[in-house]
Structure 1
Protein backbone atom coordinates (compact mmCIF):
# COMPACT_ATOMS: atom_id res chain seq x y z
CA UNK A 1 0.00 0.00 0.00
CA UNK A 2 2.79 2.46 0.87
CA UNK A 3 4.50 1.75 -2.47
CA UNK A 4 1.22 2.42 -4.28
CA UNK A 5 0.89 5.80 -2.57
CA UNK A 6 4.45 6.75 -3.52
CA UNK A 7 3.90 5.63 -7.13
CA UNK A 8 0.60 7.50 -7.43
CA UNK A 9 2.03 10.69 -5.90
CA UNK A 10 5.06 10.47 -8.20
CA UNK A 11 2.92 9.98 -11.30
CA UNK A 12 0.56 12.82 -10.40
CA UNK A 13 3.56 15.02 -9.58
CA UNK A 14 5.16 14.25 -12.94
CA UNK A 15 1.87 14.90 -14.73
CA UNK A 16 1.55 18.22 -12.89
CA UNK A 17 5.06 19.24 -13.99
CA UNK A 18 4.26 18.35 -17.61
CA UNK A 19 0.96 20.24 -17.35
CA UNK A 20 2.71 23.37 -16.09
CA UNK A 21 5.33 23.03 -18.85
CA UNK A 22 2.60 22.75 -21.49
CA UNK A 23 0.80 25.78 -20.08
CA UNK A 24 4.04 27.78 -20.08
CA UNK A 25 4.46 26.83 -23.75
CA UNK A 26 0.98 28.28 -24.25
CA UNK A 27 -0.51 25.01 -25.41
CA UNK A 28 -4.29 24.69 -25.11
CA UNK A 29 -5.20 24.34 -21.43
CA UNK A 30 -7.84 21.69 -22.15
CA UNK A 31 -5.23 19.26 -23.50
CA UNK A 32 -2.79 19.97 -20.68
CA UNK A 33 -5.38 19.72 -17.93
CA UNK A 34 -7.08 16.70 -19.53
CA UNK A 35 -3.90 14.65 -19.14
CA UNK A 36 -3.50 15.70 -15.53
CA UNK A 37 -7.12 14.83 -14.76
CA UNK A 38 -6.72 11.40 -16.42
CA UNK A 39 -3.63 10.65 -14.32
CA UNK A 40 -5.45 11.86 -11.21
CA UNK A 41 -8.48 9.65 -11.89
CA UNK A 42 -6.28 6.61 -12.56
CA UNK A 43 -4.29 7.32 -9.39
CA UNK A 44 -7.43 7.69 -7.30
CA UNK A 45 -8.75 4.40 -8.69
CA UNK A 46 -5.50 2.64 -7.79
CA UNK A 47 -5.58 4.04 -4.25
CA UNK A 48 -9.26 3.15 -3.88
CA UNK A 49 -8.87 -0.47 -5.04
CA UNK A 50 -5.31 -1.03 -3.83
CA UNK A 51 -4.46 -2.70 -7.16
CA UNK A 52 -1.79 -1.11 -9.37
CA UNK A 53 -3.23 -2.81 -12.45
CA UNK A 54 -6.45 -0.81 -12.06
CA UNK A 55 -4.46 2.15 -13.40
CA UNK A 56 -5.28 0.76 -16.85
CA UNK A 57 -9.10 0.93 -16.49
CA UNK A 58 -9.47 4.58 -17.60
CA UNK A 59 -7.47 3.71 -20.72
CA UNK A 60 -9.81 0.83 -21.50
CA UNK A 61 -12.80 3.14 -21.14
CA UNK A 62 -11.14 5.74 -23.36
CA UNK A 63 -10.41 3.15 -26.05
CA UNK A 64 -14.03 1.96 -26.01
CA UNK A 65 -15.32 5.54 -26.19
CA UNK A 66 -13.02 6.74 -28.97
CA UNK A 67 -13.23 3.51 -30.94
CA UNK A 68 -17.02 3.53 -30.77
CA UNK A 69 -17.25 7.22 -31.66
CA UNK A 70 -15.03 6.81 -34.74
CA UNK A 71 -16.80 3.63 -35.84
CA UNK A 72 -20.32 4.98 -35.39
CA UNK A 73 -19.44 8.28 -37.07
CA UNK A 74 -18.10 6.39 -40.10
CA UNK A 75 -21.08 4.05 -40.31
CA UNK A 76 -23.66 6.85 -40.17
CA UNK A 77 -21.82 8.90 -42.80
CA UNK A 78 -20.64 11.70 -40.53
CA UNK A 79 -16.98 10.74 -40.05
CA UNK A 80 -15.37 12.53 -37.13
CA UNK A 81 -12.30 12.93 -39.32
CA UNK A 82 -14.44 14.57 -42.01
CA UNK A 83 -16.07 16.87 -39.49
CA UNK A 84 -12.72 17.93 -38.01
CA UNK A 85 -11.07 18.38 -41.40
CA UNK A 86 -14.09 20.20 -42.81
CA UNK A 87 -13.94 22.63 -39.91
CA UNK A 88 -10.16 23.07 -40.12
CA UNK A 89 -10.14 23.49 -43.91
CA UNK A 90 -13.01 26.00 -43.82
CA UNK A 91 -15.10 23.49 -45.78
CA UNK A 92 -17.79 22.95 -43.17
CA UNK A 93 -19.82 19.90 -44.14
CA UNK A 94 -19.36 20.38 -47.89
CA UNK A 95 -17.05 17.36 -47.86
CA UNK A 96 -20.15 15.16 -47.55
CA UNK A 97 -21.21 16.07 -51.11
CA UNK A 98 -17.87 14.85 -52.51
CA UNK A 99 -17.81 11.03 -52.85
CA UNK A 100 -14.00 10.95 -52.85
CA UNK A 101 -13.76 12.90 -49.59
CA UNK A 102 -16.57 10.91 -47.98
CA UNK A 103 -14.82 7.65 -48.85
CA UNK A 104 -11.44 8.90 -47.63
CA UNK A 105 -12.87 10.16 -44.35
CA UNK A 106 -14.92 6.98 -43.89
CA UNK A 107 -11.78 4.82 -44.15
CA UNK A 108 -9.74 7.12 -41.95
CA UNK A 109 -12.41 6.91 -39.24
CA UNK A 110 -12.46 3.11 -39.61
CA UNK A 111 -8.66 3.04 -39.24
CA UNK A 112 -8.84 5.17 -36.09
CA UNK A 113 -11.59 2.96 -34.67
CA UNK A 114 -9.45 -0.09 -35.45
CA UNK A 115 -6.51 1.41 -33.57
CA UNK A 116 -8.56 1.95 -30.42
CA UNK A 117 -10.25 -1.47 -30.61
CA UNK A 118 -6.90 -3.17 -31.30
CA UNK A 119 -5.47 -1.64 -28.13
CA UNK A 120 -8.50 -2.79 -26.19
CA UNK A 121 -8.47 -6.26 -27.77
CA UNK A 122 -4.85 -6.85 -26.77
CA UNK A 123 -4.66 -5.13 -23.38
CA UNK A 124 -8.02 -5.99 -21.81
CA UNK A 125 -7.55 -9.79 -22.03
CA UNK A 126 -4.07 -9.32 -20.52
CA UNK A 127 -5.62 -7.33 -17.66
CA UNK A 128 -8.26 -10.03 -17.07
CA UNK A 129 -5.50 -12.67 -17.14
CA UNK A 130 -3.68 -10.79 -14.35
CA UNK A 131 -0.57 -10.26 -16.48
CA UNK A 132 1.98 -8.37 -14.38
CA UNK A 133 1.73 -4.57 -14.37
CA UNK A 134 5.16 -4.06 -15.97
CA UNK A 135 4.30 -6.23 -18.97
CA UNK A 136 0.91 -4.60 -19.40
CA UNK A 137 2.53 -1.17 -19.10
CA UNK A 138 5.10 -2.10 -21.73
CA UNK A 139 2.38 -3.32 -24.09
CA UNK A 140 0.44 -0.11 -23.51
CA UNK A 141 3.54 1.95 -24.35
CA UNK A 142 4.26 -0.08 -27.49
CA UNK A 143 0.64 0.31 -28.61
CA UNK A 144 0.70 4.04 -27.84
CA UNK A 145 2.82 6.50 -29.81
CA UNK A 146 4.39 3.82 -32.07
CA UNK A 147 0.92 3.07 -33.50
CA UNK A 148 -0.61 6.52 -33.03
CA UNK A 149 2.10 8.53 -34.82
CA UNK A 150 2.02 6.60 -38.11
CA UNK A 151 -1.77 6.85 -38.17
CA UNK A 152 -1.52 10.61 -37.65
CA UNK A 153 0.92 10.71 -40.58
CA UNK A 154 -1.40 8.63 -42.80
CA UNK A 155 -4.33 10.86 -41.84
CA UNK A 156 -2.32 13.97 -42.69
CA UNK A 157 -1.20 12.53 -46.05
CA UNK A 158 -4.76 11.57 -47.00
CA UNK A 159 -6.11 14.97 -45.97
CA UNK A 160 -3.33 16.71 -47.90
CA UNK A 161 -4.16 14.66 -51.00
CA UNK A 162 -7.87 15.33 -50.52
CA UNK A 163 -7.40 19.08 -50.13
CA UNK A 164 -4.62 20.05 -52.54
CA UNK A 165 -3.06 23.47 -52.11
CA UNK A 166 -4.71 26.18 -54.08
CA UNK A 167 -2.39 27.94 -56.49
CA UNK A 168 -1.90 31.62 -55.75
Structure 2
Protein backbone atom coordinates (compact mmCIF):
# COMPACT_ATOMS: atom_id res chain seq x y z
CA UNK A 1 0.00 0.00 0.00
CA UNK A 2 1.53 3.43 -1.10
CA UNK A 3 0.42 6.80 -2.12
CA UNK A 4 -0.17 5.56 -5.58
CA UNK A 5 -2.07 2.76 -4.17
CA UNK A 6 -2.69 5.46 -2.29
CA UNK A 7 -2.16 6.37 -5.35
CA UNK A 8 -2.55 3.70 -1.98
CA UNK A 9 -1.57 2.91 -1.11
CA UNK A 10 1.31 1.04 -1.57
CA UNK A 11 3.22 -1.34 -4.10
CA UNK A 12 6.12 -3.42 -2.88
CA UNK A 13 8.56 -6.16 -3.75
CA UNK A 14 7.53 -9.30 -5.47
CA UNK A 15 8.70 -12.13 -3.21
CA UNK A 16 6.55 -13.52 -0.35
CA UNK A 17 7.74 -14.08 3.17
CA UNK A 18 8.82 -17.44 4.61
CA UNK A 19 6.45 -20.41 4.77
CA UNK A 20 4.93 -21.05 8.20
CA UNK A 21 6.55 -23.94 10.02
CA UNK A 22 6.02 -25.75 13.28
CA UNK A 23 3.63 -28.23 14.81
CA UNK A 24 0.73 -25.79 14.79
CA UNK A 25 0.66 -25.89 10.97
CA UNK A 26 -0.36 -29.48 10.50
CA UNK A 27 -3.49 -29.02 8.42
CA UNK A 28 -6.38 -28.71 10.84
CA UNK A 29 -9.82 -28.67 9.18
CA UNK A 30 -10.44 -25.42 7.33
CA UNK A 31 -6.96 -24.16 8.14
CA UNK A 32 -5.60 -24.59 4.61
CA UNK A 33 -7.88 -21.95 3.08
CA UNK A 34 -7.20 -19.49 5.89
CA UNK A 35 -3.44 -19.97 5.64
CA UNK A 36 -3.67 -19.56 1.87
CA UNK A 37 -5.35 -16.19 2.39
CA UNK A 38 -2.64 -15.21 4.84
CA UNK A 39 0.06 -16.27 2.37
CA UNK A 40 -1.41 -14.05 -0.35
CA UNK A 41 -1.80 -11.12 2.04
CA UNK A 42 1.83 -11.42 3.14
CA UNK A 43 3.29 -11.49 -0.37
CA UNK A 44 5.80 -8.67 -0.68
CA UNK A 45 6.48 -8.32 3.07
CA UNK A 46 9.94 -9.29 4.31
CA UNK A 47 11.91 -9.91 7.49
CA UNK A 48 15.53 -9.17 8.28
CA UNK A 49 17.86 -11.90 9.54
CA UNK A 50 17.36 -10.75 13.14
CA UNK A 51 13.60 -11.21 12.85
CA UNK A 52 12.52 -7.60 12.37
CA UNK A 53 10.33 -6.39 9.53
CA UNK A 54 12.50 -5.25 6.60
CA UNK A 55 10.72 -1.98 5.90
CA UNK A 56 13.00 -0.80 3.10
CA UNK A 57 12.78 -4.06 1.19
CA UNK A 58 9.03 -4.27 1.80
CA UNK A 59 8.44 -0.87 0.16
CA UNK A 60 10.59 -1.89 -2.81
CA UNK A 61 14.09 -0.91 -1.76
CA UNK A 62 15.84 2.27 -2.88
CA UNK A 63 14.72 1.68 -6.43
CA UNK A 64 11.12 1.19 -5.40
CA UNK A 65 11.25 4.41 -3.37
CA UNK A 66 12.56 6.25 -6.42
CA UNK A 67 9.86 4.80 -8.67
CA UNK A 68 7.24 5.90 -6.18
CA UNK A 69 8.54 9.36 -5.32
CA UNK A 70 10.43 10.79 -8.32
CA UNK A 71 7.46 11.20 -10.74
CA UNK A 72 5.63 13.22 -8.09
CA UNK A 73 8.72 15.32 -7.40
CA UNK A 74 9.12 16.01 -11.12
CA UNK A 75 5.46 16.99 -11.53
CA UNK A 76 5.54 19.32 -8.52
CA UNK A 77 8.87 20.88 -9.50
CA UNK A 78 7.83 21.41 -13.12
CA UNK A 79 4.48 22.94 -12.18
CA UNK A 80 6.03 25.19 -9.53
CA UNK A 81 8.57 26.46 -12.06
CA UNK A 82 6.26 26.89 -15.05
CA UNK A 83 2.67 27.01 -13.72
CA UNK A 84 1.88 25.03 -16.87
CA UNK A 85 -0.11 21.83 -16.40
CA UNK A 86 0.51 19.92 -19.64
CA UNK A 87 4.35 20.10 -19.62
CA UNK A 88 4.34 19.09 -15.95
CA UNK A 89 2.17 16.06 -16.70
CA UNK A 90 4.35 15.08 -19.65
CA UNK A 91 7.47 15.32 -17.49
CA UNK A 92 5.99 13.09 -14.77
CA UNK A 93 4.79 10.54 -17.34
CA UNK A 94 8.20 10.52 -19.04
CA UNK A 95 9.99 9.76 -15.78
CA UNK A 96 7.56 6.97 -14.85
CA UNK A 97 7.91 5.48 -18.34
CA UNK A 98 11.72 5.69 -18.10
CA UNK A 99 11.67 3.60 -14.91
CA UNK A 100 9.59 0.95 -16.68
CA UNK A 101 11.87 0.92 -19.73
CA UNK A 102 14.91 0.58 -17.47
CA UNK A 103 13.40 -2.49 -15.81
CA UNK A 104 12.57 -3.96 -19.21
CA UNK A 105 16.15 -3.41 -20.38
CA UNK A 106 17.57 -4.99 -17.23
CA UNK A 107 14.97 -7.79 -17.24
CA UNK A 108 14.02 -7.14 -13.64
CA UNK A 109 10.46 -7.57 -12.27
CA UNK A 110 8.10 -4.94 -13.66
CA UNK A 111 5.35 -5.02 -11.04
CA UNK A 112 6.29 -1.91 -9.08
CA UNK A 113 7.37 0.18 -12.08
CA UNK A 114 4.15 -0.68 -13.96
CA UNK A 115 2.07 0.14 -10.89
CA UNK A 116 3.83 3.48 -10.65
CA UNK A 117 3.34 4.21 -14.34
CA UNK A 118 -0.34 3.27 -14.16
CA UNK A 119 -0.80 5.51 -11.13
CA UNK A 120 0.81 8.48 -12.88
CA UNK A 121 -1.29 7.87 -16.00
CA UNK A 122 -4.53 7.89 -13.97
CA UNK A 123 -3.52 11.03 -12.09
CA UNK A 124 -2.52 12.75 -15.33
CA UNK A 125 -5.80 11.85 -17.02
CA UNK A 126 -7.84 13.24 -14.14
CA UNK A 127 -5.85 16.48 -14.04
CA UNK A 128 -5.97 16.84 -17.83
CA UNK A 129 -9.74 16.31 -17.91
CA UNK A 130 -10.35 19.18 -15.48
CA UNK A 131 -7.42 21.41 -16.38
CA UNK A 132 -6.61 21.77 -12.67
CA UNK A 133 -3.18 20.82 -11.36
CA UNK A 134 -4.59 20.02 -7.93
CA UNK A 135 -6.69 17.24 -9.47
CA UNK A 136 -3.49 15.30 -10.15
CA UNK A 137 -3.82 14.27 -6.51
CA UNK A 138 -7.51 13.31 -6.51
CA UNK A 139 -7.06 9.56 -7.23
CA UNK A 140 -4.98 9.31 -4.07
CA UNK A 141 -7.89 10.48 -1.96
CA UNK A 142 -10.07 7.65 -3.23
CA UNK A 143 -7.40 4.99 -2.80
CA UNK A 144 -6.60 6.13 0.74
CA UNK A 145 -10.28 6.08 1.64
CA UNK A 146 -10.73 2.64 0.07
CA UNK A 147 -7.73 1.08 1.82
CA UNK A 148 -8.63 2.67 5.14
CA UNK A 149 -12.20 1.40 4.88
CA UNK A 150 -11.03 -2.11 4.00
CA UNK A 151 -8.70 -2.12 7.02
CA UNK A 152 -11.53 -0.96 9.30
CA UNK A 153 -13.79 -3.71 7.99
CA UNK A 154 -11.10 -6.31 8.63
CA UNK A 155 -10.97 -5.16 12.26
CA UNK A 156 -14.76 -5.19 12.55
CA UNK A 157 -15.02 -8.81 11.38
CA UNK A 158 -12.11 -9.82 13.65
CA UNK A 159 -9.74 -10.64 10.82
CA UNK A 160 -7.42 -7.61 11.18
CA UNK A 161 -5.42 -7.34 7.99
CA UNK A 162 -2.03 -6.94 9.66
CA UNK A 163 -2.69 -10.20 11.50
CA UNK A 164 -2.92 -11.99 8.17
CA UNK A 165 0.29 -10.38 6.98
CA UNK A 166 2.43 -10.49 10.10
CA UNK A 167 0.99 -13.78 11.33
CA UNK A 168 2.19 -15.47 8.15
CA UNK A 169 5.61 -13.81 8.27
CA UNK A 170 6.08 -14.82 11.92
CA UNK A 171 5.02 -18.40 11.32
CA UNK A 172 1.78 -18.03 13.30
CA UNK A 173 -0.41 -18.52 10.26
CA UNK A 174 -3.94 -17.64 11.38
CA UNK A 175 -3.73 -19.46 14.72
CA UNK A 176 -3.34 -16.11 16.48
CA UNK A 177 -7.13 -15.78 16.15
CA UNK A 178 -7.50 -18.30 18.99
CA UNK A 179 -5.54 -16.03 21.35
CA UNK A 180 -7.39 -12.88 22.42
CA UNK A 181 -4.18 -11.07 23.28
CA UNK A 182 -2.74 -11.71 19.85
CA UNK A 183 -5.99 -10.74 18.16
CA UNK A 184 -6.02 -7.44 20.06
CA UNK A 185 -2.37 -6.85 19.19
CA UNK A 186 -3.03 -7.37 15.48
CA UNK A 187 -6.12 -5.18 15.65
CA UNK A 188 -3.95 -2.42 17.14
CA UNK A 189 -1.36 -2.95 14.41
CA UNK A 190 -4.07 -2.58 11.78
CA UNK A 191 -5.29 0.60 13.47
CA UNK A 192 -1.76 1.99 13.05
CA UNK A 193 -2.05 1.57 9.27
CA UNK A 194 -5.59 2.99 9.29
CA UNK A 195 -4.10 6.03 11.03
CA UNK A 196 -1.70 6.50 8.10
CA UNK A 197 -4.55 6.66 5.59
CA UNK A 198 -6.64 8.88 7.89
CA UNK A 199 -3.75 11.29 8.46
CA UNK A 200 -3.19 11.65 4.73
CA UNK A 201 -6.81 12.58 4.16
CA UNK A 202 -6.97 14.88 7.19
CA UNK A 203 -3.94 16.87 6.04
CA UNK A 204 -4.32 16.78 2.27
CA UNK A 205 -8.05 17.34 1.72
CA UNK A 206 -8.03 20.81 3.33
CA UNK A 207 -5.04 21.76 1.14
CA UNK A 208 -6.92 20.53 -1.93
CA UNK A 209 -10.03 22.59 -1.17
CA UNK A 210 -7.85 25.61 -0.38
CA UNK A 211 -6.20 25.30 -3.84
CA UNK A 212 -2.75 24.99 -2.26
CA UNK A 213 -1.18 22.89 -5.01
CA UNK A 214 2.44 23.19 -3.92
CA UNK A 215 1.65 22.44 -0.28
CA UNK A 216 -0.58 19.54 -1.33
CA UNK A 217 2.15 18.09 -3.53
CA UNK A 218 4.73 18.39 -0.76
CA UNK A 219 2.37 16.75 1.73
CA UNK A 220 1.70 13.91 -0.71
CA UNK A 221 5.42 13.23 -1.06
CA UNK A 222 6.16 13.31 2.67
CA UNK A 223 3.07 11.31 3.59
CA UNK A 224 3.51 8.72 0.85
CA UNK A 225 5.90 5.81 1.26
CA UNK A 226 7.92 7.46 4.07
CA UNK A 227 4.84 7.72 6.31
CA UNK A 228 3.63 4.27 5.27
CA UNK A 229 7.03 2.77 6.13
CA UNK A 230 6.88 4.40 9.57
CA UNK A 231 3.37 3.06 10.11
CA UNK A 232 4.44 -0.41 9.03
CA UNK A 233 7.38 -0.40 11.44
CA UNK A 234 5.13 0.78 14.28
CA UNK A 235 2.53 -1.88 13.45
CA UNK A 236 5.25 -4.55 13.63
CA UNK A 237 6.37 -3.35 17.06
CA UNK A 238 2.83 -3.10 18.40
CA UNK A 239 2.04 -6.67 17.40
CA UNK A 240 5.33 -8.18 18.54
CA UNK A 241 4.71 -11.40 20.52
CA UNK A 242 5.64 -11.33 24.18
CA UNK A 243 7.39 -14.17 25.99
CA UNK A 244 4.91 -16.60 27.50
CA UNK A 245 5.36 -18.76 30.57
CA UNK A 246 6.10 -21.80 28.45
CA UNK A 247 8.78 -20.00 26.51
CA UNK A 248 9.16 -17.36 23.81
CA UNK A 249 6.91 -17.41 20.75
CA UNK A 250 8.10 -16.78 17.20
Question: What TM-score do the two structures reach when normalised by structure 1?
Answer: 0.83
Q: State the structure with bigger RCO (CA 8 A, min sep 6), 1 or 2.
A: 2
Structure 2 unpaired stretches of 5+: 1-82
Query: Counterparts of 1:58-137 in structure 2 under 5 Å?
Result: 58-131=139-212, 133-137=213-217
Moved more, 8-17 or 82-91: 82-91
Structure 2 residue aligned with 1:26, among 101, 104, 108? 108
- The structure where helix makes up a greater share of residues is 1
Note the C-alpha offset of 1:116. Answer: 0.2
Residue pair 2:145, 2:197 contacting (<8 A) in 1 also: yes
Q: Counterpart in 1 of 2:237?
A: 157
Aligned residue pairs: how many? 163
Distance in 1 (CA, whole Å) between partners of 2:230 and 2:178 is 28
Q: Counterpart in 2 of 1:140?
A: 220
Structure 1 unpaired stretches of 5+: none
Residue pair 1:63, 1:120 contacting (<8 A) in 2 also: yes
